[in-house]
Amino acid sequence: VDAQHVLGFPDDSRTYAAIPGILQEMNIKSIKLMTNNPRKIRHLKALGIQIDSRIPIVTPTNKHSEGYLKTKHHRQGHMNVGEDR
Q: Is 75 a catalytic residue?
A: no
Annotation says 52 is catalytic: no
Active-site option among 11, 12, 42, 75: 12
Q: What is d(CA 15, CA 66) in angstroms, rounded to the nearest whole number?
A: 27
Exactly one of 2, 11, 14, 84 is catalytic; name it.
14
How many angstroms separate the CA atoms of 38 and 41, rounded? 5
CB of 51 within 8 A of CB of 33? yes
Catalytic residues, by residue number, are 12, 14
